[in-house]
């Protein structure tokens, strides 16, 4: 009898719904507070992921500071998760409960133990890749696909237009995080046969201490953004690269980088300028400038067909390497602080 009671007790424990917790933002500019959160339910096209690791992006500091993009308070934010599928929406075919996955753009924010992720922004994480490595990938996938694939200009956020880049860029002014994943679309129809291949921006402008790292990420030539002869060196490198110059992907997008961009574009006769922030106000007529916003359905076929095999084959590398700030939701605030202070060639990650 005692044994029977014991078995029943364990069975009940197993059936009990897990308790969710989140790092809540109660109002802009305040520290996150860890407390209970509802266990999310997936819509038919979503997954609930039991997070093992979440990543910090610079965007998250803007969200914390000014509440940008927050629809409802208190709020959970954060963009990237890696973990195990806990529940699968009724229409989702590609995933099963227990699958190891990475995913981006969670509907209710990543900084929780359980998070809802759209299935079309998720991919299976190969067993050989740890959650802390894999979680550096999702936002970069979206950003790289958007910057190189958007054929038509469109509105990213009110009043800010996306550029119509649509071709592999040959010159990138890049932070490592965004730049490490660059795709060239081989066929016009992105859904045709999943023919995406890693391309690599050929010329990169980075800090001198990150030259080797940038080459490892695929750059054929690297230049120091502090070099006073930078513009002339870039013009020469483009001339001898053997590639057609398409434009610049500015993954930093500050007044300093814009000054270089516009000088280079002027000397090369114009081209595309794709920025991760609103582009400079006045650009010459031969420069097609715009901001990309890394949330776009154009990335769906990449998530569906490319990400997992590319991770398996090493075509997508989980770079920059993560720096694990700690284990537990309470470390997210510390990680956000470190991110705001600035990092070099790493992505801050919190294990859960």
> Considering the complex, what minimum distance in angstroms separates the CB of residue 163 from ligand NAP?
12
Q: What are the structure tokens assigned to 315, written together? A: 């075509």
Reduce the DSSP state of residue 213 to 3 states and report it.
Answer: helix
Q: Is 249 helix (H, G, I), strand (E, B) or coil?
A: strand
Shortest Å, Cβ 97 to ligand NAP: 31
State the minimum distance, in angstroms, from the CB of residue 273 to ligand NAP.
14
**Identity of the residue, 150 or 311, whose beta carbon is nearer to ligand NAP in the bound complex:** 150
Measured between alpha carbons, how far is 122 from 125 in angstroms, rounded to an integer? 9
> Token match 């994480």: residue?
125
> Distance between CA atoms of 138 and 81, rounded to whole angstroms?
8
Is 24:35 a contact under the CB 8 Å cutoff?
Answer: yes
Binding site for ligand NAP (CB under 6 A): 57-59, 139, 143, 173, 175-178, 205-207, 210, 225, 251-252, 256-257, 276, 292-294, 343-345
- Look up residue 188 and give its two tokens: 């016009």
Q: Which helix (H) or strand (E) holds 145?
A: helix 138-149
Nearest-approach distance from CB 181 to ligand NAP, in angstroms = 11
Q: Min. distance of Cβ 285 from ligand NAP in angstroms?
A: 24
Taking the CA of residue 173 as centre, how many other CA atoms within 13 Å lie in the half-sphere pointing to its CB? 27
Query: How many C-beta atoms lie closer than 10 Å to residue 47's C-beta?
Result: 30
- Indicate the residue among 186 and 259 with the shorter CB distance to ligand NAP: 259
Q: Which is nearer to ligand NAP, 7 or 208 (CB)?
A: 208
Angle at Cα 117 formed by Cα 67 and Cα 194, nearest 5°?
120
Nearest residue to ligand NAP, scored by beta-carbon proximity: 207
Q: Which is nearer to ligand NAP, 19 or 151 (CB)?
A: 151
Min dist CB 37 to ligand NAP, Å, is: 26
Specify the residue, 114 or 258, whose C-beta has the smaller distance to ligand NAP.
Answer: 258
In the bound state with ligand NAP, the residue whose beta carbon lies nearer, of 235 and 295, is: 295
Question: Based on CB atoms, which residue is closest to ligand NAP, 117 or 219?
Answer: 219
**Per-residue CA distances from 151 to 148, 163, 166, 190, 254 (Å):** 8, 8, 5, 11, 24
Q: Report, in Å, the least distance between residue 224 CB and ligand NAP.
A: 9
Report the alpha-carbon distance of residue 335 to residue 253 in Å, rounded. 23
């Amino acid at each position: 009898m005692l044994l029977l009671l014991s078995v029943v007790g364990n069975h009940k424990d197993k059936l009990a719904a897990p308790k969710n917790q989140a790092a809540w933002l109660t109002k802009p500019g305040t520290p996150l507070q860890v407390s209970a959160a509802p266990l999310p339910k997936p819509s038919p096209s979503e997954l609930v992921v039991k997070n093992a690791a979440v990543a910090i992006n610079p965007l998250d500091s803007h969200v914390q500071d000014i509440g940008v993009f927050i629809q409802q308070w208190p709020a959970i934010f954060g963009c990237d998760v890696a973990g195990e599928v806990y529940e699968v929406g009724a229409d989702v075919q590609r995933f099963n409960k227990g699958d190891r996955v990475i995913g981006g753009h969670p509907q209710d924010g990543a900084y929780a133990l359980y998070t809802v992720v759209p299935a079309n922004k998720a991919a299976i994480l190969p067993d050989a890749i740890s959650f802390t490595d894999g979680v550096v990938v999702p936002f970069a996938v979206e950003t790289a696909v958007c910057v190189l694939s958007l054929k038509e200009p469109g509105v990213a956020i009110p009043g800010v237009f996306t550029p119509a880049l649509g071709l592999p860029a040959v010159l990138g002014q890049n932070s490592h995080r965004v730049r490490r994943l660059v795709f060239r679309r081989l066929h016009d129809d992105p859904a045709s046969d999943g023919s995406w291949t890693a391309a690599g921006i050929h010329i990169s402008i980075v800090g001198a201490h990150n030259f080797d790292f940038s080459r490892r990420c695929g750059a054929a030539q690297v230049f120091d953004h502090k070099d006073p002869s930078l513009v002339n060196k870039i013009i020469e490198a483009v001339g001898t690269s053997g590639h057609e110059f398409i434009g610049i992907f500015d993954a930093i997008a500050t007044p300093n980088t814009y000054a270089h961009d516009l000088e280079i574009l002027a000397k090369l006769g114009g081209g595309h300028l794709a920025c991760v922030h609103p582009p400079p106000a006045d650009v010459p007529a031969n420069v097609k400038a715009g901001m990309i916003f890394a949330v776009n359905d154009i990335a769906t076929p990449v998530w569906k067909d490319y990400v997992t095999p590319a991770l398996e084959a090493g075509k997508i590398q989980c770079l920059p390497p993560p720096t694990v700030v700690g284990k537990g939701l309470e470390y997210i605030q510390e990680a956000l602080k470190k991110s705001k202070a600035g990092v070099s060639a790493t992505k801050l990650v919190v294990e859960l």
